[in-house]
Structure 1
Amino acid sequence: MNNNAINAIRFLGVDAINKANSGHPGIVLGAAPMLHVLYTKHLNINPKDDKWINRDRFILSAGHGSALLYAINHLSGFKVSIEDLKNFRQIGNTPGHPEYGHTHGIETTSGPLGQGISNAVGMALAETHLAAKFNKPELSIFDHYTYVLCGDGDLQEGVTMESMSLAGHLGLSKLIVLYDSNDIQLDGKTSLAYSDNAKKKFEAMGWQHLLVTDGEDLESIDKAIKKAKKETDKPTIIEVKTIIGRGTSIEGTSKVHGAPIGLEEAKKLREKLQYKNEPFEVDQEVYDFYKKNVLNRGKRVQSKWNKELALYKEQYHNEYEQLMNYYSQPEVDLSLLPTYEKGSKEATRNVSGKVIESLSKTYTNLIGGSADLTASTKAKGADGDFTKENRLGRNINFGVREHAMASIANGMVLHGGLKVFVGGFFVFSDYMKPAIRLASIMQIPVTYVFTHDTVAVGEDGPTHEPIEQLVMLRSIPNLVVLRPADANETKMAWKIAMESKDHPTAIILTRQSVPNLETSTYEGVNKGGYIISKEEQKLDGILLASGSEVSLALKAKEILKQKNIDIRVVSMPSIELFEKQEKAYKDSILPKEVKILAVEMASPLSWYKYTQHVYGINTFGVSAPLEKVLEHFGYTPQDLADGFIKL
């Protein structure tokens, strides 16, 4: 029976790839046995309830092998039909790489190699924290594993090493990685570019390394997974030696990695494996076997868990209510956050840190940390550090691992139950961009706290002074970028981020102190842009700004007033939110045929949709004290007023 089921998986994948004339058959043929063992013997899932919070998670980090995942999910009872498999890599339900929220049973969008395994680290971290928070000696609400299938390519990516290093350091023992070790990548043998000793490397990073020498040996694969599940101090990587494209005339070569094998080769393979079924034809006994060993087994496990949850509700009612709140959407009451007097001055990074402290008291599922920059970003979680010894800590020391930090945050949010933030210097968003992009694709509410937002960083110089980063983030679809002007706008930015359901949020903050403005409004920030200072009689023009430049614009307005020039100042903390407003509102804020000067200490490219006049920076920064830097670039009230007059 096992052999027939494995061949069904193989040929559903191969036939889908052949029909699409696109895909990666090598991993389908080589890795099908290990996934078959995982699904039918270990993976606790219920395809009829894919949101069950205590399900095991399976991540196909080698996302190019999506045909393999779609095939086995079809057999398991997820909403992936034979017609979907026939429509592989077309517009529809089975895209070329797995997409979260698009195809039933997909836990993450694992496109670029290394992202899936890094997401899995986040999922395992979330499970460990929530288990410590809610489990009782006699009742386990969170008690599941996170499994990954990765390949040689995943383990060459830098983000993978960052994530696995942290997972080993934290001892995330319920993370189990199946490593499809076939020594082949797209350009040829892995030996062309890679000669690491996997066992020594991963053991040095605090992982248990297990080796299965034959990827067709189901019993050995099963024993290795059982041994991994018994390990309670460290994560496990199971290296399974396989043959890419096994059974074909081009097995063991890169030729079978990323191109269909073709109809003739598929016919020969059927004969070799004595598989008599036509393309997309599966024996009923295979469906029955998967129903018994995946679907029905999963239902039994969930039914037992449901009974435990009912007991938990009865015996620990307060904790149960808190658990339910973790999975509900918060509505942030601004009155719970710190208040600031008009005219007082504070760096918005400091305000953000105090807001996080306040939010953490009410929302005990708020968790996060910074990439070794907590003292600077103020993005620090509550209840101490999350460590092997303190699983309840809500501050995660990510270390100098920006890329992994963002990817791990994605996994934590995908796991469910947690509100997650991460912090770093704004210029280092470059390192985080791939994971931010994927969060935006998946429409998940991660919050990014970026500080040191402009050339006003000063002495650190061009490498640490962001110029093009605002344009970069604003160009990512579905990412909301908020650059608050003062303390009140910062509080409002956090409210927007916390209440997000379907988009990540980047909050861009100052290092230097800025004055707190009396006219900041939540309604205005929520709409992305608003009039923070109206013209007095006639509208001679508009100064349009974000962040610290808003207070600069207000000072320039006073200079222009002395010259009888009546100016409106518009604060636009979020272009994305402003663009979502109705045309009438946008026109009321930025009327047509009015002279507008946009002001931002960054690349001017964000602002040309509103005006041809932009006071921006088209060079990199300089190293000097703050005031000298601002003078160098002409960001003084007088310079700005003069610039407006010259329009």
Structure 2
Amino acid sequence: MPSAPNDQPVPADLHEAAITTIRTLAIDAVQTANSGHPGMPMGCAPMAYLLFSEVLRHDPADPAWPGRDRFVLSAGHGSMLLYAALHLSGYERPTLEDLRSFRQLGSVTPGHPEFGPGHPGVETTTGPLGQGFANGVGMALAAERLSAELDPDDIGILPQRVYAIVSDGDLMEGVSAEAASLAGHLRLGRLTYLYDDNRITIDGSTDIAFSEDVLARFDAYGWHTQQVADGNDLDALRAAIAAADADPRPSLIAVRTVIGYGSPAKAGTAAAHGAPLGDDEVAAAKRAYGWEHPPFHVPAEVADHLDARERGAALRAEWQERVRAHRVAQPELAAEFDRRVVRGELPGDWTEALPSLEGDAATRQHSGAVINALAPVVPELFGGSADLAASNNTDVADGGDFHADDRLGRNLRFGIREHAMASMANGIALHGGFLPYVASFLVFTDYCRPAIRLAALMGQR
């Protein structure tokens, strides 16, 4: 866990004021829009506070910094949690006025986070539950392979981890099960997921449809699992995140929270999930917090405390020293890093490698010929199939398989997990440094359709 420059103990009342600011910004934005999901941000505010102020390697002044950690709000309906954290951290957008425009047409604060220009700090579009979970697995996979390929001396130019907040709903979706299973098999230890275990969905208590032992399931997948009994216990959260980051396996931390925390009449109920609290209940919740401020108020001491720009600049400067050392030690690999990761460019001569396709042949045969013609000159070409490599012709000849003990393999074995395959490919693309491809039979692409739609919305290739 990165430490802040000039790290000094923070008074308990400042911690509490910062967390309450996140909660009340979410409450006020949803109430002003008369639409949205206030309960999740109210329950998860301590997690967001710790992540953005103490844990994440991020620099609001350079949101696309390649050495940053990735944060995915897989529970995208709780978008105001992310928007509040980004604003308070010092990102250019969203501004306070953007928060006031939550869920309004044309705003940069839509009801669910959207990746793209004007949305700094949003790493992926989420909303359809489970997609962010699988995107994060793809990001971690990309980081592992890119580090093995471009930083063999482990100088540390790609130190990033992937953090996410996932919900009960995310963990009910099949795509998350597919992705979690593969992440455990591949030992993707850069993943630290915090599970918002509030036990409430729109229809009521989760026990009407969801009674499994989630941590036992993830244990069986090969994940490192922990439980935090009280989502407001900052020390317990810190200890759990530190233990997760130190473990070589992917990690899931089940954090027991109260949806709508602080709302006298709606906390812990489905009424706090997907509708404004109402004026009377907003006032009651703020009284419970001891918050005597107008809507959208950010106390000066909280703004000072949560501004992450100085800390981010220090982390980025330290990373730039590593990049300089890498350029000296590995100049050719450093040039590849600059091209693929920093500039995001294809090799200048890649079109010359395209084969001439003549004669009648199945499209999958032509596709395989193109993949293998381009592979030697486009090293970022990286992908595979859902247990159909021999039929889809997706293998790079002599490329080897990517697996837990070989991070340099060029062929991905997704197993029979079409949905996770496509969603993970989105995560690989979003991470940067790769041109991912995946394949299946056309009839099976119905399983991929949600991820294909999101790839189109995000403009990913």
TM tier, smaller: over 0.9
Shift of 1:444: 0.8
Instruction: Quote the residue 2:381 is aligned against.
Output: 366
Structure 2 Cα separation of the partners of residues 100 and 335 of structure 1: 33
Alignment partner of 1:260 is 2:276 = yes
Alignment partner of 1:157 is 2:170 = no
The one-letter code matched in structure 2 to 1:86 is R
**Residue correspondence of structure 1 range 107-118 to structure 2 within 5 A:** 107-118=123-134
Structure 2 Cα separation of the partners of residues 138 and 370 of structure 1: 30
8 Å contact from structure 1 (residues 58, 148) kept in 2: yes
Q: 1:200 to 1:138 in 2, by over 3 A?
A: closer
Instruction: Quote the residue 2:69 is aligned against.
Output: 56
SS in 2 for 1:362: coil
Alignment partner of 1:21 is 2:38 = no
Instruction: Quote the residue 1:426 is aligned against.
Output: 442
Shift of 1:41: 1.4
The one-letter code matched in structure 2 to 1:299 is A
SS in 2 for 1:372: coil
Superposition RMSD in Å: 1.2
8 Å contact from structure 1 (residues 368, 422) kept in 2: yes
User: Bigger radius of gyration, 1 or 2?
Assistant: 1
Structure 2 Cα separation of the partners of residues 254 and 317 of structure 1: 57
User: Which TM-score applies when normalising by structure 2?
Assistant: 0.93
Alignment gaps of 5+ in structure 1: 446-647
The one-letter code matched in structure 2 to 1:180 is D
Instruction: Quote the residue 2:44 is aligned against.
Output: 31
Structure 2 Cα separation of the partners of residues 395 and 315 of structure 1: 28
Shift of 1:335: 3.9
Instruction: Quote the residue 1:139 is aligned against.
Output: 155
Structure 2 Cα separation of the partners of residues 25 and 322 of structure 1: 44
Q: How many residues align?
A: 440
Match for residue 346 of structure 1 among 326, 340, 361 = 361
Structure 1 Cα separation of the partners of residues 322 and 384 of structure 2: 33
8 Å contact from structure 2 (residues 150, 336) kept in 1: no
**Residue correspondence of structure 1 range 476-487 to structure 2 within 5 A:** none
SS in 2 for 1:54: coil
8 Å contact from structure 2 (residues 350, 374) kept in 1: no
Q: 1:283 to 1:150 in 2, by over 3 A?
A: same
Match for residue 420 of structure 2 among 380, 404, 407 = 404
The one-letter code matched in structure 1 to 2:130 is G
Structure 1 Cα separation of the partners of residues 254 and 309 of structure 2: 27
Structure 2 Cα separation of the partners of residues 94 and 28 of structure 1: 15
Cα deviation code 1:82-114 (max 9, x no counterpart)? 100000000211000000014221000002000
Structure 1 Cα separation of the partners of residues 296 and 246 of structure 2: 38
Match for residue 337 of structure 1 among 344, 354, 362 = 354
8 Å contact from structure 1 (residues 38, 222) kept in 2: no
8 Å contact from structure 2 (residues 165, 196) kept in 1: yes
Structure 1 Cα separation of the partners of residues 357 and 205 of structure 2: 62
8 Å contact from structure 2 (residues 357, 366) kept in 1: no
Shift of 1:334: 4.2
Instruction: Quote the residue 2:96 is aligned against.
Output: 82
Shift of 1:136: 4.2
8 Å contact from structure 2 (residues 350, 377) kept in 1: no
Instruction: Quote the residue 2:451 is aligned against.
Output: 435
Indicate the structure whose relative CO is greater, using CA pairs within 8 Å and at least 6 residues apart.
Answer: 2
Alignment gaps of 5+ in structure 2: 1-13
SS in 2 for 1:379: coil
Shift of 1:365: 1.0
Cα deviation code 1:51-100 (max 9, x no counterpart)? 11110000000000001110111000112111000000002110000000
Structure 2 Cα separation of the partners of residues 351 and 428 of structure 1: 20
Structure 1 Cα separation of the partners of residues 329 and 350 of structure 2: 31
Shift of 1:138: 5.6
The one-letter code matched in structure 1 to 2:260 is G
Instruction: Quote the residue 1:172 is aligned against.
Output: 188
Shift of 1:425: 0.3
Structure 2 Cα separation of the partners of residues 187 and 262 of structure 1: 20
Alignment partner of 1:94 is 2:109 = yes
User: Which TM-score applies when normalising by structure 1?
Assistant: 0.67
Structure 2 Cα separation of the partners of residues 298 and 194 of structure 1: 40
Alignment partner of 1:241 is 2:252 = no
